[in-house]
Amino acid sequence: SWRNDICFIADYGDQNLHFTQAQKLQYMIDTGYQEYNRQKIYVDAFPRASSGNRYPEVNNTIDRMMGFGGLIVNYTGHGGEGGWSKAGILDIPMISSWSNRNRLPLFITATCEFSRYDDPSLISAGELVFLNPGGGGIGLLTTSRLAWADPNFRLNKAVYKFMFKRIDGEYYRIGDILRLAKTDQNNGTNIKNFVLLGDPAMQLAYPEYIVETTVVNGVTVEWYNTDTLNAMAEVNIQGIIRDFYGDTIKDFNGIIYPKVFDKDVTMSTLGSDNSSLPAPFDVIGQKLYDGKASVAGGVFNIKLFMPKSMATYIGYGKISYYAYDTVNLRDAHGYYRVYTGGVNPEAAPDHDGPELSLYLNNTDFVAGGLTDREPVFLAYLFDEHGINHTGNGIGRDITLTLDDDPLTTVVLNDIYDPDIDSYQSGWVSYPYTDLADGKHTLTLKAWDNMNNVTEKTLAFEVSVDGPLMLTGVMNYPNPFNDITHFVFDHNKPGNNFDLEIRIFNINGQHVRTLRGYSAADGLSITPLSWDGTDMGGNKLGNGIYIYRLYVLDEQGTQFVQTSKLIFTGKQ
């Protein structure tokens, strides 16, 4: 869905000049192309560092935005060969760290000489945006010399006159956009300072088709009967994928990613500089839902649940769509303006938090088991009213904490992966590195959409340098009547093992031996299986059996453990 996002960044100072210009540019998108979601990073809306002329939250926000990617990043303000703004909100080390190579935006930089490309003694910051092998931008409409704010803005504005225009259903290519914008302005020498770094024949990654909402809560969508999405209510949305001429794309099959946003919120710049003035501006509202649903034959049906903590006054919110055809590799986007607010008067009480299932590396992991120093935490989350993974409500985030140390707490909202066609369940996955040997815990905390919380802790042990250790020795299913599988975890990643399982009846008679070889594959083994037969292949009687596991590693260390199972197969 990054192809729906356009980010406007404005410098501080100069009597709000750059802020005002950015506001006028984003207004063109907000009024003419509402299928795109605008993000605003205005320097003077962030707190200034206690010492020095720095705004560290701006740097962090730009880095985070680039991590998600976007269609366009538009900067207005001061700049130079080393980056943006006297406050250093973008510099060469930041650009070099970006790793968004599959989500590359077009940069529009209405600033000075950010992309001086003809000085062999240096590589400018703008050039590095384009040349960064790990990420950056797909291209830049940018300046290579000193330029003036007013003509910069007029040219920037002219770019948007052609950026989203279609001719016979086709968008302009980047080179044509800049050519037409310069011709439109004809503002003297300043236009010569604006250049394109990139392929002039390339189109931006515009979604090809249009997502249209047709039915909300059983009512056909018309301009005069917009429904209201209430807090604590289930919502059903139906729609189609269509082309530029209104025809349904009946061979569009894949996934749609709907996002529901609450009403716009008014914020203000802070006036933290002598030449900056406090000024109000609107930003897109709190994200209320972010999920996935299937598309078949160009038609979709989405069910979602509106959170209890949404703003209850009624006003216009927005449903934003991005859809991808996984068969024909094409996409679509769209939006629907809908009222949000009010409370569902029939909402049933709910005091139970989400159900959490915690693992390491795979779903066979048993609590207290062994792992290496670089495990991947996995969790499955379920709640009948859905998981709050949008940060809706202060402190209501999905968080993960190592060893009860609050300094290790990470917020996992952005990496929650909802199940397709369900607002009730999904997964989180988070990798760790360089964990110390010894016992550890991971504590997951999650909220549902009714503001109920659950915490659950998973204990595990990192043991790499010590002798061979096994945990989680078990067979499943147990009891069994057809076949059972023997598994365990160990602390020797990369090792191969000789395995032997000897099975005895309740009288101590040896009835079967299983042998196997487990190749190196993480910290789990390939299961050994038993079908309840003896040495001759005859089915044994039902009852309790004892088994003894022998494991021999490459260093000649042997581990032995005994357990029991129940066979119910032969009556």
pLDDT of residue 376: 93
Integer Cα distance of 3 and 514 in angstroms: 55
- Taking the C-alpha atoms of 102, 105, 106 and 111 in order, what is their torsion angle to the nearest 10 degrees? -130
pLDDT of residue 570: 65
pLDDT of residue 520: 57
Q: Which CATH architecture has domain 2-197?
A: 3-Layer(aba) Sandwich (3.40)
Domain boundaries, the chain: 2-197, 209-269+279-343, 355-462, 470-567
pLDDT of residue 371: 85
Given a contact cutoff of 8 angstroms between Cβ atoms, the answer to whether 90 and 125 are in contact is yes
Integer Cα distance of 503 and 6 in angstroms: 65
User: Does the domain at residues 355-462 carry the CATH identifier 3.20.20.80?
Assistant: no
In the chain, how many H helices and how many E strands?
Answer: 6, 39
Q: What is the pTM of this model?
A: 0.83
**pLDDT single digits (tens) 128-157:** 999 999 999 999 999 887 666 777 888 999
Crossing angle between the packed helical segments 174-185 and 149-163, to the nearest 10 degrees: 130
Q: Do domains 209-269+279-343 and 470-567 have the same CATH topology?
A: yes
**pLDDT single digits (tens) 31-76:** 999 999 999 999 999 999 988 889 999 999 999 999 999 999 999 9
Helix (H, G, I), strand (E, B) or coil at 238: strand
Helix (H, G, I), strand (E, B) or coil at 447: strand
Given a contact cutoff of 8 angstroms between Cβ atoms, the answer to whether 482 and 531 are in contact is yes
Q: Would you give per-residue pLDDT tens digits along the chain (571 residues)?
A: 899 999 999 999 999 999 999 999 999 999 999 999 999 999 999 999 988 889 999 999 999 999 999 999 999 999 999 999 999 999 999 999 999 999 999 999 988 889 998 888 889 999 999 999 999 999 999 988 766 677 788 899 999 999 999 888 899 999 999 999 999 877 666 677 889 999 999 999 999 999 999 999 999 998 766 789 999 999 999 999 999 999 999 999 999 999 999 999 999 999 988 898 999 999 999 999 999 999 999 999 999 999 999 999 999 999 999 999 999 999 999 999 999 999 999 999 999 999 999 999 888 888 988 888 888 999 999 999 999 999 887 889 999 999 999 999 999 999 999 999 999 999 999 999 989 989 999 999 999 999 999 999 999 998 776 667 777 788 989 999 999 999 888 877 767 888 999 999 998 899 999 998 876 566 667 788 999 999 999 999 999 999 999 998 887 888 888 999 999 976 5
Given a contact cutoff of 8 angstroms between Cβ atoms, the answer to whether 353 and 454 are in contact is yes
Beta bridge partners of 19: none
Region 470-567: CATH code? 2.60.40.4070
pLDDT of residue 189: 65
Helix (H, G, I), strand (E, B) or coil at 414: helix
- Taking the C-alpha atoms of 430, 433, 439 and 440 in order, what is their torsion angle to the nearest 10 degrees? -40
Residue 527, judged by CB atoms within 10 A of its CB (0-12, 13-18, 19+), counts as middle
Integer Cα distance of 453 and 352 in angstroms: 8
Given a contact cutoff of 8 angstroms between Cβ atoms, the answer to whether 70 and 29 are in contact is no
Determine phi and psi for 383, rounding to 5 degrees.
Answer: -155, 140
Distance of CA 247 to the CA centre of its chain: 32
Helix (H, G, I), strand (E, B) or coil at 173: coil
- What is the DSSP pairing of strand 330-343 with strand 209-216? parallel
Integer Cα distance of 18 and 365 in angstroms: 54
pLDDT of residue 108: 95
Region 209-269+279-343: CATH code? 2.60.40.10
